[in-house]
Structure formats: C-alpha cells, structure tokens
Chains A and B, each alone.
Chain A
Amino acid sequence: MTNRQNIVQSVDWITIGIFFLMILLGWLNIYAADYNPEEVTSIFDPSSKAGKQFIWIIGAVVIMMLLYYVDYKLLDTLAYALFGFTVFLLLAVLIVGTEKNGARSWFDLGFISLQPSEFAKIATCMALCRFLSDKNPKNQSNKFLIYGAGFLLVPITLILMQPDTGSVLVFFSLIVVLYINGISNGLFFSALALLGVFILSLVFNEVKLIVSFSVLAGIAIYFFRKRKKIVIAIFILTGAIILQILGTQFFVHKVLQPHQRKRIEVILDPSSDPKGAGWNTIQSKIAIGSGGFTGKGFLDGNITKGDFVPEQFTDFIFCTVGEEHGFIGSFFIVALFVILLLRLIKLAERQKSHFAHLYGYSVVAIFLFHFLINIGMALGILPVIGIPLPFFSYGGSSLWSFTILLFIFIKLDAHRGDVLARR
C-alpha cells in the first residue's frame, strides 16, 4: 500500500493539471462550435456533440484510473503482445471495418465507433521503445536503428491500405525516438529536411520554391560571407534542395502514372478538401482572422457554426478558438501545448529506465506532430492533412488514445524511483 501512496506523491500533477485544463477547454470549445442561438441545447445533452464529448471525457477519466492500477512492469512486458494485437486489429478493420470518407478505418460496434489506427500509435510506440531499450544501449549503430524503424513499417503499410494517409504520417514523427536513441544530428536533420522539402515541392510551385530557397541562401551567405566553409556548405545545401525539388517534380509528373499521382495528391489534400479549391484553408483563415485581437467572445462566433467546413469539429476545431477568443485565446492554447511538451521533455529526461525515457520522447513526438500539423493546417502554413488536435478535437477514439498514450507515461514516471538505473 505504501507503493500506492508513493504514487500519489510521485505522479506529475503539473502534467495532469494541464491535461484536465485541456479537456475542459476542448469540451467548452466543441460546445461553442456546435452552438446554435436559435436552438440552445444543454452542454450535457447526449444528442449534441458537446454531450457526446462529455461522455468520452468520462471514459477518458475512467481509463486514467484503470491505468493507475496497472502494474507498471506489465507495460514494458506486454509491449510486443499489444503490438501484435493491434496489427491483428488493423488487419481485421480492412476486412470487417466500416468505410467513412473513402477509408475503411472504423469498427462500428453499434453504440460506438472505434478507429484502431489511433490505438496502433500507442502499441507501436511501446513496441519500438521496448525493442530499442532491450538491446545493449551501447549498440547504437544506425543499422540497428533501421531495424527499429521496421516496427513502424507494419502499421504504416496496413493503415495505408485503408487508406488513411493522415494517420500514417504521424508514425513518421517517431523518427524523434530514433534520434534520441542515437541517430546523429546530421542524419536526423537531413531526414527532416528531405521530408520537408519533399512535401513542400508537392504542394507549392517549383519556381516559387526555388526562388525562395535561393533568396534564403543569399541572405545566409551575406551573413556568413567571412566564413568560407559555411558559404560553401550553403551553396551545396541549396544546390541539393533545388535538385530535390526538380527531382520530385520529375518523379511526380513523368515517372508516376496518373492514378499514382492522384494518390499522392490525396495524401496532401485528402477528402477534407474535396473541391480542391483550397476552400477549407480559406474558410479557416477567415474564421481565425475574424477573431481579431480579443475574439468575438464565447458562443458569439458566427463563421465556424453551421455550414463552415465538413471537419469543423475535428480537424478544424482550432478555428473556433481563433474566432471566439482571438489572438489572446489562440496564443494561450499554443502556450498551453508548449508548456505540456516542455514538461514532457523534462519528465522524459528524468527517467532512469531506458524504456521509459524513449517512451517519454515518443509521447512528445506524437503530441508535437499533431500540434504542428493541425494548427499549421488551420493557419494555412501546412497542407491540409486531416489529423486531430489532442484533447480539443471532437471524437472518442482520438481523446482516448491520447489519454492512454499520456497516462502510460505518467504511470511510468511515477515509478521512476522503483527501477534500477539502466540508461
């Protein structure tokens, strides 16, 4: 029993506090997005979006409690079994799943629909961290890390078959874990840059891109004009980027068949923007822009209600924050995510077990990726990739999976004193 009391003392109440604050704000925000002044419903009305979210929040709290009672050692031990089970679910959903928006990614259980790809994130994190931590920690060769990356390939392939490309991209964020475990800075940033330039050159006009990269390079060269080595490095880098842009263009337009090209275009512009006219992005910018400095006030927004965009409760929920609470409110939410992420990084660093350390960073990676893509998309900086904003987007599967992901880590963290140092 002393163990349990220890836990209460040793859990990270700051993170838990941020978690509760976020789900509370998220819930109110969903109520606002669904609010119709002509037909006011209670925030608890189970037929409304906010009412359903409330039920899922209760579920999330129950999950939280249950995790509290799980033996923390099991988490490490069961990682592979859970991974296997998830792979099974991902296979099953391809066969017996229900199709929504062109992707066969849901189990319709009648009273509730579940999306196994959401839970696959958790199991994949655990299995990957287990694999990386099991091996001799000194064995950090890149080859070994590539084997680790193999863990990502199985769920990625299965989810691509649904196809739910937004969810797939999340798995790439786990590169961060490989980075923490040993990939060198150079390799990590090259991988990020490669991915970044690839996505950019699919989305933007190549001439514009090349011009803007050249201008950036020019500025950089001006600043470093006295250091010859850096100037040469910038030249080489810019050349490489331009080559990649042209290469991508060539690959997409000359090598790929039209139907394959279509598939890539769908990755970047999935069903969330069926008319291909950037309507969602325009609407989203208008909504956020109309909020001004202080916002229109809670429940007083008019753009993000009714006929806004099809994903106004999920992928574009941030627009309601922007419209009703303006710059102040939006900044507050961004700051809240920053605090959560920095706190999680700090917790990850204080882990003694290698597994918990890596797991902590995988939680950081996934939250960071969702934060980056979701808000970046709402602001029109990033292409439209439909993934939810943690604790704010409407929906049970995403809320529960983020809760489980987070609380497994909080549980591990609470027991950090019980393990022998392995790192």
Chain B
Amino acid sequence: MKSKKQFVISVLVLFIAIVFTVKLFHLQVISSDYKLAARDNTVKQHYIEPYRGQIVDRNGKMLANNVPVFDLYMVYRKVNMEDSSRVCQLLNLTHTEFIEAIQKMKKDRGYSSYKPSLFIRNFSAEDYAHIQDKFHFIGYSFEVRTERNYAHPSFAHGLGYTAEISKRELDRYGESNYINGDNIGKTGIENYYEKELKGKKGIEYKIVNVKGLEKGRFKGGAYDSTAIAGYPLVSSVDLDIQQYAEELMQGKKGSVVAIEPSTGEILCFVSSPNYDPRYLTGRKYSKHMSLLQLNSNKPLYNRAIKAPYPPGSTFKPVAALIALQEKVIKPSERIACFGKLKTLHVKDHVSGYIGIEEAIQKSSNIFFGKLFMKTVQQGVKEDWRKDSQYGLDRWKKMVNSFGLGTDLNTDISGEKKGFVPNSAYYNKKFGRWSAETIFSLGIGQGELGATPLQLANIAAIIANKGFYYIPHIIKKIGVGNKQIPIDERFTKKHYTMVEKQHFPIVIEGMERVVSPGGTARLAIIPDITVCGKTGTAQNPHGDDHSVFIAFAPKHNPVIAICTFVENIGAGGEAAAPISSLVMEKYIRGSIIDSRKWIETYVKNKKTIIDE
C-alpha cells in the first residue's frame, strides 16, 4: 500500500513535468503565436480612455462635454538633466516646480524609471500647439487624453468637478478601471454618477521595438478591447432659470432650489457665492482650487445641501399640518392671540382670535407657539414632563416624515441631514424641561436645522398635498436604446404622516401670504397664483436670514421653490421676490414689464463683496 502511494505521487510529479515540457516546447519551439517579428521587440499595453459621458440640461442644452488635452510623460532614465532649463523655459515652469513634479512622479504607484511616467498633466490644445515644434528632448513624450469641459459658467455646485484620482481613491476603485493620472469625479453629479459617466477603458497591445517605435498590433489585435464610452446624462435642471437664479443671487450668500413637485426633479440648484466650473479644469486646477479654498466667502461650500439653516417661519405650514393631523385644532378653530405672551417672551403684530389661515398669512408667533404646545402636550401621560417628552418624540417623527432631519438620499454627494431634536437631546441639554421650554421649535427656530433642498422639498410636499418624490438632479441615464433607468427610489412616492384632507386649508393660508395683506407682497405675480410662506430666521451671526418657500400655480403646481438669503433681513424683502422671479421665468418664460423693477431691486441688494 505504502509503495503504491509513493508510486502515485511520483507519477503525479512526472506527469506535471511532462505537461510543462510539452507546453514549453510548444511555446518556445513550435508555435509562432507568441513570437514577435524581431528578437528585440516587446509588447506594450496601451490604454484607450473612454469618452466621459456628456451632461445636458432638461431641454438638451449642453452642460458638460470633453476637450482634448495633452499630458507630458517622462522616462526618467532616458532624460538628460542638462535639458531641464530649456524644458522649464518651454513649459513655463520654475526650477523648483520642475523638481517638485519629478518628486511627485516618483511617488506614484507603479512608478518605474524605465517606463514613461506621468510628469505634467493637462496642456491645452493651444499650449501644446505652441510647445510641440520646439519640444524635441529625449525621454519626454506627450499623450493625448480628453478632459472635462463645461459649457457655461453656471451650475458649478450641481455639476461638481473632476480631478486627478488620489491614492486613496485608487485603492478603493483602482483595481478594475483606473490608473494613475486618471480623472475622477470629486463632487456633485461628476462624483455621484462617476460609474455611469466613466465608461470602460479599452486596451491595445502594440509591438514596440527597442527604440520605442510601434511596429504594429500584437496578434492582429486579437487581445485588444475597445473603449466603451460613458453614459450621457440628462439633468433635470433648466439651464435658463439656473442662470437666471444665479444672476439674482449675485453678491449674496444663500441658495435657491426649485423642484418639479410631480416628479421630484430639481429644476434649479443654486448655492451662492458660486464659481465658474471651468475654473476647476485644466492645468491651473490646483492653483485655482487653493484660491477657492482660501476665499472667505466659501464658494466651494454647497449651501443648498450642506447648510443646516433654521427654517424660521417657513416651518409654520408644517407645524399647522401636524397639529391638524393630531386633531389638536379644528380647521375652523380660532386661538386667542394678543399683543404679547409673557410666558413665551414673544411679541407679535397680530391681535385677536385668529384661525389657521390668518395665522399663516400674518405669521403669528403666538398662534404657532400655542399650537406647538398643544401638539406636544396632549395629556397622554399623567406626568406632564413625561407627556412633553412623549409628545415631542411623536412630533419629531412626523416632522421627519416631511424629509427634515433625515437624509433625503438625493443624487448629489455630500448631503447633510439637518437637525430635528428629540426628547433625549433636551434631557441631556436641560435635564428638566417641558413643552414651554422648547416652544420656539414650533415657529421654526431653536435647534431646528434644515437645508434649502429640504425646504424646497417641503414646498413640493404641500404642492402635492402630502407626498414627495426624492429630489434628484439626473432624470435620464443614456440615450436611445442604450438607457438604464434612474434609481427606483426616485420614482417612488414617499408619503408624509399627514393625510391629504388637511392640506387645503394650509394652502389657502399660503395663498393669502402672497396677497396684498400678506407678508410676501413682492412675490405676487399677475395671472399666476402663488402659494408661499416667508421666514425671517434669527441667527447669532448678524442680520436675519431671509427665507421663502413657495409653489405655483396653486392648481396643478409645476414648480416648488425655496430661496434662502443669508443676513439680508426679512423673508418678504429678498427671498420672496427672488423666488417669484424664478417661478415667473420658469412658468411664463419671461418677466412681465410691471415686475421688471423687482428684478433690478433684487440685483442691487448685495451683502458680500466678491473676492
């Protein structure tokens, strides 16, 4: 038995050796498949960059495409350092920059002094044309590649930007589709849809001789694969109103976000101050990037999805809806609101017994302070403090169902949740507290934090009477028969915890806001019924923020909007007119003459100095 097994193992060894010998003989002596024409030839792998998907707006207007750029490669061992001063001169580099570029190159993954390594990226076609004739140094070579190009100086925060892949990103995605020097989307659509936009690299195998000259394709291209272009994307944004809103927001800090309520498609996505997306392309990328990072107005900061502002009075419609759903107020019920409510330290400019519509129209703080306490303190629990805790947590859940304090899960990278406090938060903060302690939540102040996108979504929810589609900025991936559907979460209705029948009265109130007796008189558009709510958010950093949420027209709304302008005063003064101009432009296509003065008025209001 033993010797039999010895025999088996020995036969196994010999069998393997025979297979190897036969294969070796085949490869080295018989077959010509793997022979290259000449002894000195080698095979090199050459990547073909896929064409990055274009991005167009909802009307097919070009937003992002690609242009050819040239990268300079260096074979370190071949380079003659005596050339470097001439090289620097032609490339317009200082000697230090030249040395730094070499040091950076040497740290790249897979760097070898034998092979062409990426030295300096992104020479534009003009630069290249200029240099090309005089650039005949050994060890240097140019490679053409396509680089992102943006058609307009707008929509920077939505589009985002691309830049050279970092070592960490290479670790994360690198194995399959990226190499050193590749561009990758860093923010915005470019980042979120990187996979769709990127496409797939093609590979060509070329026979190369000792001098580096190409001698043809290896095995007639049998192993080659073609590059597969990325999917073109159709953004839901309307370039016209995007540009218009950016124009109106010039010189102000804040954000304008508009949504089509029936689909959740984002129509306009402005974060101000912004920057020209073209500023972050090409060779000057790093220089411009650091300038933008140093700019004290923080143009890179995407306020529309990252800034959790106190919603102020724009929250009141939500507060009313929750109270109606909780049946702590009947639609016809009136609450006594007189001059000043001592316990709440709130002043108000209304007095009398008022109902929901009037309270919204005049933005009564006393009304909503009382309403909040009624909502939170329903007497479900015997201990009144426990009752407040129970009530607040229940209230928070309902607020969350409006998309506040939670991730909306939109398709723009970097979204922030905002904040809606719960009882645990106040237990930790105050220890002992009751509804009265925290009544300012009911008027959209206090700890509440909501992003402009979330507030625009609130407007869309009210326009839809109780549901929303997750706001998204890409409506189509691919063209013709080469399409993939957008994520299914964007086509699903999300219902709030408030039933449909409670909405009409709140909508009536919002219509009255945009009427001669309301707080947003500058938002009145002839022939178009606008429903809105102003907000004047107090904040510790200076003047009040001006907020406005609205949708229009009242019946079958096509646009819901939120405008947030920092430190500029009351909601009716800045945010309301800006919103109304954008809505009018979207619905009518232009601004009627009688309202042109508002345009000028808004443009002249400036709070920051451009850097």
Nearest B residue to A367, CB-CB:
B13
Stretch at the interface among A71-79, A227-235, A334-342: A334-342
Say how far A195's CB is from chain B's closest CB, in angstroms: 14
Cβ–Cβ contact A274 & B10, under 8 A: no
The contact of A327 among B24, B36, B175, B210, by CB within 8 Å, is: B24
Instruction: Knowing A289-B33, A293-B29, A379-B27 are in contact, say whether A345-B9 is a contact too (CB < 8 A).
Output: yes
B residues within 8 A CB of A375? 20
As a 0/1 sequence over residues 286 to 330 of chain A, the CB contacts with chain B under 8 angstroms (1 = contact) are 101111110010000011011100100000000000100011001
Q: How distant is the Cα of A345 from the Cα of B2 in the complex, in angstroms?
A: 12
Nearest-neighbor residue (CB-CB) of A327 within chain B? B28
Nearest to B174 among chain A residues (CB) is A274
**A371 close to B (CB within 8 Å):** yes
Contact with A along B16-42 (1 / 0, CB 8 A): 110111011101110101111001101
Q: Known contacts A185-B8, A289-B34, A337-B17; decide if A331 and B203 are in contact (CB<8 Å).
A: no
| B3, B9, B25, B35 interface centre (most CB from chain A within 10 Å) | B9
- In whole angstroms, how far apart are the Cα atoms of A307 and B114 in the complex? 6
Instruction: State which residues 38-91 of A face B: CB under 8 Å.
Output: 38-39
The answer to whether the Cβ of A147 comes within 8 Å of any Cβ in the partner chain is: no
Query: Which of B23, B25, B203 meets A275, CB within 8 Å?
Result: B203
Q: Which residue of B lies closest to A188 (CB)?
A: B8
**Which residues of chain A come closer than 8 Å to B10, judged between CB atoms?**
342, 345
**Contact A364 B9, beta carbon cutoff 8 Å:** yes
Instruction: Give min CB distance, B353 to chain A, whole Å.
Output: 62
Verify if B77 is at the interface (C-beta below 8 Å from A).
yes
> B27 and A285: CB pair below 8 A?
yes
Determine whether the beta carbon of B174 is less than 8 Å from that of A349.
no
| Residues of B in contact, count (CB < 8 Å) | 47
- Once A337-B17, A379-B20 are accepted as A-B contacts, the answer to whether A282 and B43 lie under 8 Å apart by CB is yes
Q: A180 vs B6: C-alpha distance in the bound complex, in angstroms? A: 8
Report how far A376 CA is from B9 CA in the complex, Å.
18
Residue of B nearest to A180 (CB): B5
Roughly how many angstroms separate A357 CA and B21 CA in the complex, as a whole number? 30
User: A197 on the interface (CB 8 Å rule)?
Assistant: no
Cross-chain contact A307 with B43 (CB below 8 angstroms): no
B223 near A277 with CB under 8 A, answer yes
User: Are B115 and A307 touching (Cβ within 8 A)?
Assistant: yes
Task: Return the contact of A322 from the options B28, B174, B210 (Cβ within 8 A).
Answer: B28
Q: Which of B34, B36, B110 has the most CB of A within 10 A?
A: B34
- In the assembled complex, the Cα of A278 lies from the Cα of B225 at a distance in Å of 12
User: Once the chains are docked, how many angstroms separate the CA of A274 from the CA of B205?
Assistant: 16
Nearest chain-A residue to B23 (Cβ)?
A379
Judged by a CB distance under 8 angstroms, whether B14 is at the interface is yes
A271 touches B24 (CB 8 A): no
Interface-centre pick from B42, B110, B218 (highest chain A CB count, 10 A) = B42
**A306–B210 Cα gap in the complex (Å)?**
12
Q: What residues of A have a CB within 8 angstroms of the CB of B27 in the complex? A: 285, 288-289, 322, 379
Task: Please tell me which one of the listed residues A180, A290, A307 contacts residue B36 in the complex, with CB atoms under 8 A apart.
Answer: A290
Asked if A381 is at the interface (CB within 8 A of a chain B CB), the reply is yes
The answer to whether B175 touches A285 (Cβ under 8 A) is: no
**Residues of B contacting A391 in the complex (Cβ-Cβ under 8 angstroms):** none
Chain A residues whose CB sits within 8 angstroms of the CB of B17 once the complex forms: 334-335, 337-338
The answer to whether the Cβ of B45 comes within 8 Å of any Cβ in the partner chain is yes
Q: Which residues of A contact B42 (CB under 8 A)?
A: 286, 302-303
In the complex, residue of chain A having the shortest beta-carbon distance to the beta carbon of B44 = A307
State A287–B203 Cα separation when bound (angstroms): 19
Q: A286-B34, A337-B17 are in contact. Are A306 and B115 (CB under 8 A)?
A: yes
Min Cβ gap B416→A in Å is: 28
Contact A302 B40 (CB under 8 A): yes
B290 at the interface (CB under 8 A from A): no
Residues in A with CB closer than 8 Å to B556 are none
The answer to whether B31 and A334 have CB atoms under 8 Å apart is no
Decide yes or no whether B12 CB sits under 8 A from chain A.
yes
Q: Is A361 at the interface (CB under 8 A from chain B)?
A: yes
Cβ contact within 8 Å between B20 and A38 = no
Q: Using Cβ atoms and an 8 Å threshold, which residues of chain B touch A292?
A: 28-29, 35
Asked if A276 is at the interface (CB within 8 A of a chain B CB), the reply is yes
Q: Which residue of B lies closest to A278 (CB)?
A: B223
B103 on the interface (CB 8 Å rule)? no
Asked if B35 and A289 sit within 8 Å, CB to CB, the answer is: yes
CB-CB contacts below 8 Å: B142-183 with A: 171, 174-176
In the assembled complex, the Cα of A271 lies from the Cα of B109 at a distance in Å of 13
Q: A38-B77, A307-B115, A337-B17 are in contact. Are A290 and B34 (CB under 8 A)?
A: yes
Q: Nearest CB to that of B207 among chain A residues?
A: A286
- Centre residue among B110, B175, B176 by max chain A CB count within 10 A: B175
A142 CB, min distance to chain B CBs, angstroms:
15
Residue B590 is within 8 A (CB to CB) of chain A in the complex: no
B210 contacts A176, C-beta separation under 8 Å: no
> Binary interface profile of A, 160-187, with partner B (CB < 8 Å = 1, else 0)?
0000000000000000100110000100
Which chain B positions have C-beta within 8 A of A342? Answer: 10, 13
A283 interface residue per 8 A CB criterion: yes
A188 vs B251: C-alpha distance when bound (angstroms) = 80
Q: Which of A291, A303, A306, A349 contacts B112 (CB 8 A)?
A: A306
**Nearest Cβ distance between residue A12 and chain B, in whole angstroms?**
17
Q: Which residues of B contact A179 (CB under 8 A)?
A: 5
With a cutoff of 8 Å between Cβ atoms, the chain A residues found around residue B25 in the complex are: 327
Contact, CB under 8 Å: B29 / A334: no
CB distance from A368 to the nearest CB of B (A): 6
Report Cα–Cα, A35/B40, bound state, in Å.
Answer: 16
How far does the alpha carbon of A179 sit from the alpha carbon of B12 in the complex, in Å? Answer: 13
A372 in the interface, Cβ–Cβ < 8 Å?
A: yes
Chain B's closest residue to A365 (CB) is B9
Inter-chain contact B35/A368, CB cutoff 8 Å: no
A144 within 8 A of B: no
Residues of B within 8 A of A286 (CB): 34, 36, 42-43, 218
Query: 20 other contacts beyond A277-B225, A345-B9, with CB at 8 A cut-off?
Result: A38-B77, A275-B176, A275-B203, A276-B176, A285-B27, A286-B42, A288-B27, A290-B36, A292-B28, A296-B39, A302-B39, A302-B210, A307-B44, A322-B27, A334-B21, A338-B14, A364-B9, A368-B12, A375-B20, A379-B27
Q: List 30 A-B contacts (CB under 8 A).
A: A102-B175, A176-B9, A274-B175, A275-B176, A275-B203, A276-B176, A277-B203, A279-B203, A286-B218, A288-B24, A288-B27, A289-B34, A290-B35, A290-B36, A290-B39, A291-B28, A292-B28, A303-B43, A307-B112, A322-B24, A322-B28, A326-B28, A334-B20, A334-B24, A335-B17, A338-B13, A345-B9, A348-B6, A368-B12, A381-B19
